[in-house]
Chains A and B, each alone.
Chain A
């Protein structure tokens, strides 16, 4: 059992006197993040509703850039913000509530990187396939919308 706690978050920018204060600090931060998400979700600001970058012309360079920058080209910035904020919340839940911050580096890496690689792989494959099926459904070869 790790009795000694690391008492700083945001890379040392916010230090706490004891573990209980740190818990309330993290709660405050998570609540603010959730409130921001809810407000954005209700009002949906118009500036975040269409992608920041237009797709590049197909070709070796253009197609590679389309893949590399796909979150900025094919995704509404609002959704990108939601996903990033979710990962931020997940980080603080795992690091401070599940006290991964106080565990050894080896345990932390084993817990985090194993799922991260597997999930990234699964999501890439499923979404690429789903995008392909979406194109097929739109190509008039299949009649489904009647």
Chain B
């Protein structure tokens, strides 16, 4: 290729003076790979630090199957099903993306348009599912007590072994809890939503209801209940409840009713960062989608742009495969 620039839309220029492009890849594709490799290292950093926290608390880490058990519009306990669906949606939208790239190689404009459209729809379903997953996680389902040491105590019905929600046993007491307002405090910014029950109400309800037991974060290492969380008896439960400090409902960056708060922190951080990638991927796909409709790549003579966003889109899928394994399976 000669060193003169031909047209404004010529994308495939390698001005290095030889007919051969380095590694047989165009400049744009090479830069996309540079970005993907560095982004892969960022995600690896996140997942490795998640593993660090998990190894550190190896025998008290929350069990994912007990945390992510919901499906939209259905009641009941269905671990894994919804995430499996999300994974499938993302892989499917990867497939339509490859089909778009393939149609682009053959210069079939209409096929590219349709495949890009399905890719965008798949991505939107995935982002929506992730938002729903976040909302469910933030809302929480059973509620728990946080101790002075920051540990989580959950409640179980002794006869059935099922989890007990706070509202099942907490005794409403006519306690005055006066809202803090700006006029009463010197250093006052605002007040967060109060939990439905106070610590006192939960503990009183626990004492009144002999069918409730406390479940700690520790995972049983030996014997019949190996792999499950430790169940205390009544007297041990009361002893642990003496150290109660907060009532926790749902999860945020500071409190987490499912167990170790680092679990919630990493969940928000890693799936959030991934969801942000999916969101930008969808936006970029939409831009490319309209460019295809407008005929930009038809005039340019090749659909390499579709291939490049395709690489990014597959990378997002690739990251999700790892997030799925390390957050939901292992």
Can you list, as one digit per residue, whether each of A1-45 has a CB less than 8 Å from chain B (1) or not (0)?
111000000000000000110011001001100110110011000
Number of interface residues of B (CB under 8 A): 64
Chain A 76-134 interface residues, beta-carbon cutoff 8 Å to B: 79, 82-83, 85-86, 89-90, 93-94, 96-99, 103-104, 106-107, 110-111, 114-115, 118-119, 122-123, 126-127, 129-131, 133-134
Given contacts A122-B48, A126-B48, contact A1 B23 (CB under 8 A): no
Secondary structure of the B contact surface, majority rule: helix
Count residues of A near B (Cβ-Cβ below 8 Å). Answer: 54
Residue ID in chain B nearest A94 by CB atoms: B318
Q: Contacts A3-B105, A82-B325, A126-B49 given; indicate if A93 touches B79 (C-beta within 8 A).
A: no
Q: Find chain B residues with CB under 8 A from A3 CB.
A: 105
Against A, the Cβ 8 Å flags (1 = close, 0 = not) of B93-106 are: 01101110110010
Contact partner, B58, options A107, A114, A129, A134, Cβ 8 Å: A134
B132 interfacial by beta-carbon distance below 8 Å: no
Nearest CB to that of A37 among chain B residues?
B329
A81 to B218, CA, bound (A): 25
B25 touches A137 (CB 8 A): no
User: B322 contacts A90, CB within 8 Å?
Assistant: yes
Q: Which residue of the partner chain, among B24, B51, B98, B147, contacts A126 with CB atoms under 8 Å?
A: B51
> Which one of A37, A41, A94, A110 contacts B65 once the chains associate, using CB atoms below 8 Å?
A41
B241 interface residue (CB < 8 Å to A) = no
Query: What chain A residues lie within 8 Å of B307 (beta carbons)?
Result: 1
Q: Which chain B residues have a beta carbon within 8 Å of chain A's beta carbons?
A: 23-26, 30, 33, 36-37, 40-41, 44-45, 48-49, 51-58, 60, 65, 79-81, 84, 87-88, 91-92, 94-95, 97-99, 101-102, 105, 147-149, 151, 218, 226-227, 243, 302, 304, 307, 310-311, 314-315, 317-318, 321-322, 324-325, 328-330
Chain A interface residues (CB < 8 Å from chain B):
1-3, 19-20, 23-24, 27, 30-31, 34-35, 37-38, 41-42, 49, 79, 82-83, 85-86, 89-90, 93-94, 96-99, 103-104, 106-107, 110-111, 114-115, 118-119, 122-123, 126-127, 129-131, 133-134, 137, 143-146
A sample of 17 cross-chain residue pairs with beta-carbon separation below 8 angstroms, ordered by A number, consists of A23-B98, A31-B88, A34-B87, A38-B84, A86-B322, A96-B98, A97-B94, A97-B95, A97-B97, A104-B23, A107-B23, A107-B33, A111-B36, A118-B41, A123-B48, A130-B55, A145-B60
